[in-house]
């Protein structure tokens, strides 16, 4: 075992028991009595603002009423009708900024109905029975290619299968799930839930998943267009932006996405190395997840360094507060200038920033922080555009996901439009599936 005074990146900073406690379920599931009490707080609004705030348009008052009448399986069906990944969304969706923020109870009392936890109670109840509440329509004779087995791809594949199409899903990773499997903090999705959810979703039938197939390497869009009736692209953003500063190539500097992926697939968290002084560059959910998990692994000092002010962070205020309550320091209006050290990172130099006329500029004033481990969490880029029209760094699509190529749709993080959220990706995959079906039916 490493000495607690060993400097630098090391494993076994904490014992197995403490790690198990640190990475336990962030929010314990409701039991039946708790769910009934929570459901009783709902006003069952006729023009419910929570529905409007939900990217997947779930009839929230209806499913809560079904829980209140002790029929959680019916509630789950109401949820899955609109969001087949409702189980994961109940765990990771920023409900505090969406449905719960719009809740009338929140506006009147400052305490919303616990919509997310109620959704989890319902979906977990049905999924625990192994039941798939949908049956396939008669075969249409069409075969659809879906690239990416993340939230958008799985949502699209399931809806297409329900409508009677056969679907082949090509995914770059060894396991399906995409962001849900590889990119979400371990304490948000415990007990291998992402893998179990993907297996349950595919039990509808008509969905074949081919793993370790990368667009642009193992498969080409031209070939998919020839072999399939339609193509949906939901492969996310595979590349990670570099810091582009002196020392970015030193040891101890890596991207946060890879760190989270390794952690999520680890069977022994005590064997996972982490630094004593960790600095995460970025202001989104990935930055928060990397920072909090570094602290939970035993890092002494963890800092999130973000180039703008708090209000500009894409991570929700709830996530920011979660980081702070976990012992993570949030440092605003600083950007990386250099990483110092003899071959490996020892310090990071940050420059204070200001915004003038909407333009971010360095002030010339700098500080240095000890940093034996630095994580980049400053956004991702598209690996392969396959000749599609882009909008910024993403594939340009219309409101139903159609791209510039006839017969090709896209959704999720790789496509322009909505927020980079699991729930938004689910909605985009579902809506693209409906448009594909309508297109194929003439």
Residues 88 and 213 in one domain: no
Pair 179, 150: CB distance under 8 Å: yes
Pair 278, 371: CB distance under 8 Å: yes
Query: Is 22 within a domain?
Result: no
Query: Is 1 within a domain?
Result: no
CATH number at residue 120: 1.10.1060.10
User: What's the distance, CA 84 to chain centroid?
Assistant: 15
Grouping H, G, I as helix, E, B as strand and the rest as coil, residue 159 is helix
DSSP sequence for 363-425: EEEEEEEE-SEEEE-S-EE-S--TT--EETTEE---TT-B-SSTTEEE-GGGBSSS-S-HHHH
Q: Final residue of a domain: which of 128, 151, 178? A: 128
Which pLDDT score is estimated for 7? 55
Query: Which residue in the block uniquely carries the two structure tokens 């990773």?
Result: 173
Residues 270 and 367 in one domain: yes
Distance CA 300, CA 296 (A): 10
Residues 195 and 215 in one domain: yes
CATH number at residue 176: 3.50.50.60
Distance CA 113, CA 50 (A): 10
User: What's the distance, CA 46 to chain centroid?
Assistant: 31
Share of residues in the chain with pLDDT > 70 (%)? 98
Residues 205 and 221 in one domain: yes
Residues 162 and 223 in one domain: yes
Domain count, the chain: 3
* Residues 6 or more apart whose Cβ sits within 8 Å of residue 21: none
Query: Is 10 within a domain?
Result: no
Distance CA 202, CA 199 (A): 5
Query: Is 72 within a domain?
Result: yes
Which pLDDT score is estimated for 4? 37
Residues 368 and 389 in one domain: no
* Residues 6 or more apart whose Cβ sits within 8 Å of residue 153: 146, 147, 169, 171, 178, 232, 234, 235, 412, 429
Which pLDDT score is estimated for 242? 86
The predicted-structure confidence for 383-439, as pLDDT tens digits, reads as follows: 777 889 999 889 999 999 999 999 999 999 999 987 889 999 999 999 999 999 999
Residues 347 and 247 in one domain: yes
The predicted-structure confidence for 363-376, as pLDDT tens digits, reads as follows: 999 999 999 999 99
Mean pLDDT on 79-106: 97
Query: How is the beta sheet containing 301-305 ordered, strand by strand?
Result: 253-255, 373-376, 277-281, 301-305, 328-331
Which pLDDT score is estimated for 240? 80
What is the number of other CB atoms lying within 10 angstroms of the CB of residue 116? 21
Closest CA to 156 of 441, 399, 433: 433
Residues 249 and 328 in one domain: yes
Residues 221 and 248 in one domain: no
Instruction: Identify the domain containing residue 358 by its residue range.
Output: 240-376
Query: Is 6 within a domain?
Result: no
Q: Final residue of a domain: which of 77, 95, 128? A: 128
Q: Is the pLDDT of residue 381 over 70?
A: yes
Which pLDDT score is estimated for 419? 80
Pair 189, 198: CB distance under 8 Å: no
What long-range pairs does 103-110 form, CB within 8 A, spacing at least 24?
Answer: 103/49, 103/50, 104/43, 104/45, 104/49, 105/41, 105/42, 105/43
φ, ψ at 362 (rounded to 5°)? -80, 145
Q: Final residue of a domain: which of 332, 360, 376? A: 376
Share of residues in the chain with pLDDT > 90 (%)? 91
The predicted-structure confidence for 231-275, as pLDDT tens digits, reads as follows: 999 999 877 888 999 999 999 999 999 999 999 999 999 999 999
Query: Is 134 within a domain?
Result: no
């Amino acid at each position: 075992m490493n000495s607690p005074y060993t400097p630098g990146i090391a494993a076994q900073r904490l014992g197995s028991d403490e790690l198990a406690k640190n990475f336990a379920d962030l929010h314990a599931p409701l039991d039946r009595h708790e769910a009934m009490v929570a459901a009783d707080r709902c006003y069952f609004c006729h023009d419910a603002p929570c529905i409007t705030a939900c990217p997947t348009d779930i009839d929230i008052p209806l499913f809560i009423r079904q829980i209140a009448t002790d029929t959680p399986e019916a509630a789950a069906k109401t949820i899955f009708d609109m969001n087949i990944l409702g189980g994961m969304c109940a765990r990771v969706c920023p409900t505090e900024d969406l449905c719960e923020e719009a809740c009338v109870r929140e506006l009147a009392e400052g305490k919303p109905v616990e919509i997310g936890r109620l959704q989890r109670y319902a979906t977990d109840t049905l999924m625990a029975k192994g039941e798939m509440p949908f049956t396939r329509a008669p075969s249409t004779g069409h075969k659809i290619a879906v690239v990416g087995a993340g939230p958008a791809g799985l949502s699209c594949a399931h809806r297409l299968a329900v409508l009677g199409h056969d679907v082949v899903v090509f995914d770059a990773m060894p396991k399906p799930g995409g962001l849900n499997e590889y990119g979400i903090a371990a304490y948000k999705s415990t007990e291998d839930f992402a893998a179990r959810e993907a297996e349950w979703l595919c039990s509808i039938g008509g969905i074949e998943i081919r793993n370790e197939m990368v667009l642009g390497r193992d498969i080409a869009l031209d070939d998919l267009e020839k072999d399939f009736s339609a193509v949906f692209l939901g492969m996310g953003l595979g590349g990670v932006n570099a810091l582009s500063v002196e020392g970015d190539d030193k040891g101890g500097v890596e991207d946060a996405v890879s760190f989270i992926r390794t952690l999520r697939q680890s069977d022994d968290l005590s064997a996972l190395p982490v630094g004593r002084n960790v600095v995460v560059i970025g202001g989104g959910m990935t930055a928060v997840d990397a920072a909090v998990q570094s602290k939970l692994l035993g890092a002494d000092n963890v800092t999130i360094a973000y180039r703008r002010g708090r209000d500009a962070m894409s991570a929700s205020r709830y996530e920011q507060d979660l980081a702070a309550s976990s012992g993570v320091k949030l440092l605003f209006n600083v950007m990386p200038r250099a990483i110092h050290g003899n071959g490996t990172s020892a310090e990071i130099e940050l420059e204070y920033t200001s915004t003038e006329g909407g333009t971010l500029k360095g002030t010339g004033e700098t500080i240095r922080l000890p940093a034996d481990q630095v994580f980049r969490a400053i956004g991702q880029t598209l690996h392969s555009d396959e000749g599609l029209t882009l909008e910024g760094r993403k594939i340009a699509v219309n409101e139903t996901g159609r791209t510039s190529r006839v017969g090709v749709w896209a959704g999720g993080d790789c496509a322009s439009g909505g927020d980079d959220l699991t729930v938004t990706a689910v909605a985009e995959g579902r809506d693209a599936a409906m448009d594909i079906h309508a297109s194929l039916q003439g």
